[in-house]
Structure 1
Amino acid sequence: MANERLRALEDVEKEIAMVLQCAGTIVLELSKDKHNASLLERQLVQFQTSVNRVESELSSQIRYLTQVATGQPHEGSTYSARKDCQMALNRAEYAKVKLGELGRTCELMLEQQQPQPQT
């Protein structure tokens, strides 16, 4: 799944390169005194087609990332489980610290309650 998404992004990158190439060709042709209308038309159609593909694929990628980022478990994701595990470890460590403090407090109280030997 991740490899497919990466391949799709590589395709988007190629389409962006095509968009830039078409735009360059159009600008170059328009800068001429006498431009070729059929070439301009073909480049414009290619430009629009590529822009539409880029927009469509990027929208798809964004929708996917939005679903993943909601915290809902999805196939192949371990983020939620790792986060839960880390939070559990943090809580356990906090409990350990608090129990240690409680133990020290109890020891101090017991020491204070023991009768002091009289000499």
Structure 2
Amino acid sequence: MNFDNSTQDSIRALGHVEQELCQGMQSASAALAELAKDKPSLKQVETNTNAFMKSLQIVEANLCQHLVGINQISTGQTHEGSVYSVKKINNMAWHRLSHVTSELNKIELPK
């Protein structure tokens, strides 16, 4: 498959989001593992919890940014690299032309 640069950038950015999500899950796991110990180190729990929260904020911000882009595409708003709205307008114009042509063919001209 051939993807344009914006698509490749989006895929790459989502890959980074996935990596950040994995790091966040590792931090959460480490915090829970520390809490499960007989004598947990509150410093370690706090450090891992803060790392998890930071990862969560990064993931949320990036996913929100991608959702805004998807929403713009799906609603027909202009979006860099998208031709959906132009194709939609062109398709509708062809339908209107076909309808007008059909209606004009029904009209009988006086002889």
Shorter-normalised TM-score: what interval? 0.7 to 0.9
Partner residue in 2 for 1:52: 57
Matched, 1:90 2:89: no
1:9, CA displacement in angstroms? 1.4
2:28 pairs, out of 9, 20, 23, with 23
Moved more, 36-45 or 86-95: 36-45
1:10 counterpart = 2:53: no
Q: CA-to-partner distance for each residue in 1:2-53, whole Å, 9 max, x for gaps? A: 3222211111111112222222222222122221223212211211221121
State the structure with bigger RCO (CA 8 A, min sep 6), 1 or 2.
1
* 1:36 maps to which of 17, 41, 54: 41
TM value normalised by structure 2? 0.74
Larger of the two Rg values belongs to structure: 1
Worse overlay, 22-31 or 69-78:
69-78
Structure 1 residue 70: Cα displacement: 5.4
What is the identity percentage for the equivalent residue pairs of Structure 1 and Structure 2? 32
Distance 1:62 1:28 in 2: 34
- Structure 1 unmatched runs, 5+: 111-119
Measured in 2, the distance between the counterparts of 1:63 and 1:101 equals 46
Match of 2:83 in 1: 78
- Structure 2 alignment gaps of length 5 or more: 1-5
Using the alignment, how far apart are the partners of 2:54 and 2:79 within structure 1?
Answer: 32
Count of aligned pairs between the two proteins? 106
> What RMSD, in angstroms, separates the aligned Cα atoms of the two structures?
2.6
- Give me the whole-angstrom Cα distance separating, in 1, the residues matched to 2:78 and 2:50: 41
Verify the 8 A CA contact 2:34 2:40 in the aligned structure 1.
yes
When the two structures are superposed, what TM-score results if normalisation uses the length of structure 1? 0.70
- Of 72-81 and 84-93, deviating more is 72-81
